[in-house]
């Protein structure tokens, strides 16, 4: 089965914070986990896909780029988006379909926006999804702490389904590219 690692909005300004915005929760751990999963993806011969949000740092400069501490492989594919949904207005879906991808491992920022939307959209579009539970983050909100948002999404997205395809939540230390979705069918 062909697989892909999808790293969403792991951009310098979003992770570190800028222009009065807070950094994401446990940013050093997030970066370390992204790098670990990139290594796992390469070992599993999975496609490596990064998505950048054009709203981050106004779509320019170092702040817009993938965080400097993330080890982006040369073979990685990078798409830019203008919406919360990584699939909207981008060639992402057609790219994944053309490469016969069936399983997506998703991580990045921000949990309650782009990560949540990507997981749900992917299942609707025929992908089984593994959300990396310790591989997504957020700065939090005025209503909920980052820890609460992350915990909530890990809970509600584990087992989220759209009839034929669904998501599970697993952590970096697990073999993320050995899908376990059939155990739940």
Query: Shortest CA distance to 79 belongs to which of 48, 109, 110?
Result: 48
- In degrees to the nearest 10, what's the CA dihedral of 175, 39, 33, 93? -80
What integer pLDDT is reported at residue 82 of this predicted model?
97
Residues constituting the chain: 185
| Structural Rg of the chain based on CA atoms | 15
pLDDT in the model for residue 164? 86
Task: Label the pairing between strands 128-137 and 2-8.
Answer: unpaired
Tell me, what's the pLDDT at 184?
Answer: 74
pTM (2 decimals)?
A: 0.97
* DSSP label of 66: B
Query: What's residue 20's pLDDT?
Result: 82
Collect all residues with Cβ–Cβ distance below 8 Å to 66 and sequence separation of at least 6: 7, 10, 11, 12, 50, 52, 72, 78
State the pLDDT confidence band at 64, using cuts at 50, 70 and 90.
very high
Quick one: pLDDT at residue 31?
A: 98
Q: Quick check: 185 pLDDT over 80?
A: no
pLDDT in tens, 1-15: 899 999 999 999 999
Range of the domain at 51: 2-184
Q: Which residues pair with 3 in a beta bridge?
A: 103
pLDDT for res 47: 98
Query: Is 90 exceeded by the pLDDT of residue 109?
Result: yes
Region 62-82: mean pLDDT is 98
Residue 44 burial (CB count, 10 A): 15
Residue 26: which residues within 8 A CB-CB, separation 6 or more?
Answer: 137, 146
Alpha carbon distance 96, 86 (integer Å): 12
Please, are residues 177 and 105 in contact by the beta-carbon 8 Å criterion? yes
Q: Residue 127 belongs to a domain with what CATH number?
A: 3.40.50.850
State the pLDDT at residue 113: 97
Does residue 162 surpass a pLDDT of 80? Answer: no
Lowest mean pLDDT among 3-12, 52-61, 176-185: 176-185
What is the pLDDT at residue 87?
A: 98
Encode pLDDT of 112-140 as tens digits. 999 999 999 999 999 999 999 999 999 99
Count of domains in the chain?
A: 1
Per-residue buried b or exposed e for 116-139, using 16+ beta carbons within 10 Å of the residue's own CB: bbbbbbbbeeebbbbbbbbbbbbb
């Amino acid at each position: 089965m062909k697989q892909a690692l999808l790293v969403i909005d792991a951009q310098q300004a979003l992770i570190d914070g800028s222009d009065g915005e807070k950094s994401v929760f446990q940013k050093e751990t997030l970066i370390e986990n992204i790098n670990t999963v990139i290594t796992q993806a390469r070992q599993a011969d999975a496609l490596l896909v990064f998505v950048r949000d054009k709203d981050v740092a106004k779509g320019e400069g170092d702040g817009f780029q993938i965080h400097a501490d993330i080890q982006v492989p040369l073979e990685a594919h990078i798409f830019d988006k203008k919406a919360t949904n990584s699939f909207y207005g981008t060639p992402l879906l057609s790219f994944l379909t053309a490469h016969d991808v069936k399983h997506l491992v998703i991580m990045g920022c921000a949990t309650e926006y782009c990560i949540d939307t990507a997981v749900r959209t992917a299942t609707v579009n025929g992908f089984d999804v593994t959300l990396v539970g310790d591989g997504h983050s957020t700065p939090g909100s005025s209503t909920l702490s980052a820890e609460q948002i992350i915990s909530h999404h890990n809970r509600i997205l584990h087992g989220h389904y759209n009839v034929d395809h669904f998501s599970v939540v697993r952590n970096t230390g697990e073999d993320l590219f050995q899908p376990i979705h059939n155990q739940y069918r």
